């Protein structure tokens, strides 16, 4: 069995906060030039008061299902990657299940920060390959603007809100790298570095602000080495060369990291999907949003080999190889 990507969808809140607007609104000592030069970010979307991870995730899922040509009733599995759920429980996934009217089936959340979508994709692939599901929604949805310290210019300029989704359907293949579908996912974590990117406190904590904290230099250092290693690991698993990769769809955290990974693979810039300038870092939503962007403009063609990679709090990191 093979898990095929049948459709991609995305949702972005209507409100756009540009770099100069951000400095004026929150009195931060920063500028458009400072943010753009260091990150590549020019703007981010901000969820309206009534928007939540579940409402945005449902909107992205509807677009993905529409592009796949499938009804909500076909979905028997929903996996949501989010660090900003509607509540500690029930899972955001079951709220989306109810809003879409999917079922019967099952739904659950995964918390792996910015790597969450890769983790969720791996879980859904395993479920489809073993026959426990036939059609899965894999969703990344985040409202990071609600967990930011707006006095900390080292973090508040980096993140935005949004949701992305893919529809996976079960199909048959020959078990080779030429098959369409998910070839493999490669997942890693190292809890020794948990404190360099984390949220202070939580539902079961004895204290904390509930705000995001990050040691930017440390995260950047780990990102470069760990992403390079997991890219090599994923290609070696199938005897593929860097030149076989048609598209790189990376986690949209920092343009410098994205450019470094594109150069490592020898890809021209037009083969690297970049949305960080418009979306900022939307954590678990960034890769499916970038996929929806590329798919919506018809950039990715049938048979193209797509490499996705991400690193996030945990530390967690991973990669996925997919042939469309």
Average pLDDT for 200-223 = 91
CB-based contact 320:184 (threshold 8 Å): yes
**Tens digits of per-residue pLDDT, 15-71?**
999 998 887 888 888 899 999 999 999 999 999 999 999 999 999 999 999 999 999
- The CATH code of the domain that includes 99 is 3.40.47.10
Q: What is the pLDDT of residues 75-91, one digit of tens each?
A: 999 999 999 999 999 99
Whether the ω angle into residue 104 lies within 30 degrees of 0, i.e. cis, is: yes
**Residue 100 backbone dihedrals phi, psi, to 5 degrees:** -80, -20
Burial of 50 (0-12, 13-18, 19+ CB in 10 A): exposed
Q: What are phi and psi of 184, to 5 degrees?
A: -170, 160
| Range of the structural domain that residue 65 is part of | 1-324
19 is catalytic: no
* % of the chain residues with pLDDT over 90: 90
Number of domains in the chain: 1
pLDDT band at 176 (very low <50, low <70, confident <90, very high): confident
Residue from 8, 102, 114, 156 carrying the catalytic annotation: 114
Q: Is 251 a catalytic site residue?
A: yes
Q: Which residues contact 67 (CB under 8 A, 6 or more apart)?
A: 7, 8, 9, 167, 295
* Cβ neighbours of 130 (radius 10 Å): 10
Residue entry with tokens 């979508």: 117
Instruction: Convert the pLDDT of each residue in 108-156 to its tens digit.
Output: 999 999 999 999 999 999 999 999 999 999 999 999 999 999 999 899 9
Exactly one of 45, 186, 198, 251 is catalytic; name it: 251
* Predicted TM-score of the model (pTM): 0.97
Radius of gyration of the chain measured on its C-alpha atoms: 18
């Amino acid at each position: 069995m093979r898990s095929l990507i049948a459709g991609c969808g995305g949702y972005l809140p209507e409100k756009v906060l540009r770099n100069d607007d951000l400095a004026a609104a929150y009195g931060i000592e920063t500028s458009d030039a400072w943010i753009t030069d260091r990150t590549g970010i020019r703007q981010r979307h901000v969820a309206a008061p009534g928007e939540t991870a579940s409402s945005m995730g449902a909107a992205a899922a509807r677009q993905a299902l529409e592009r796949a040509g499938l009804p909500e009733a076909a979905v028997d599995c929903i996996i949501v990657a989010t660090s900003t759920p509607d509540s500690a429980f029930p899972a955001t996934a079951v709220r989306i299940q109810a809003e879409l009217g999917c079922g019967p089936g099952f739904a659950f959340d995964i918390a792996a920060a910015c790597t969450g979508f890769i983790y969720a994709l791996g879980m859904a692939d395993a479920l489809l390959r073993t026959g426990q599901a036939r059609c899965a929604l894999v969703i990344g949805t985040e409202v990071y603007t609600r967990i930011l310290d707006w006095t900390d210019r080292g973090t508040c300029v980096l993140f935005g809100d949004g949701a992305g989704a893919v529809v996976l359907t079960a199909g048959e293949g020959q078990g080779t790298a030429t098959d369409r579908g998910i070839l493999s996912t490669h997942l890693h974590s190292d809890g020794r570095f948990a404190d360099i990117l984390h949220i202070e406190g939580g539902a079961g904590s004895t204290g904390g602000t509930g705000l995001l904290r990050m040691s930017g230099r440390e995260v950047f250092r780990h990102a470069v080495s760990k992403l390079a290693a997991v890219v090599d690991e994923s290609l070696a698993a199938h005897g593929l060369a860097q030149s076989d990769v048609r598209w790189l769809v990376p986690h949209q955290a920092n343009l410098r990291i994205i450019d470094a990974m594109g150069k490592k693979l020898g890809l021209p810039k037009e083969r690297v999907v970049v949305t960080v300038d418009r979306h900022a870092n939307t954590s678990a939503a960034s890769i499916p949003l970038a996929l929806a962007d590329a798919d919506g403009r018809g950039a990715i063609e049938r048979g193209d080999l797509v490499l996705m990679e991400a690193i996030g709090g945990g530390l967690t990191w991973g990669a996925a190889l997919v042939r469309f």
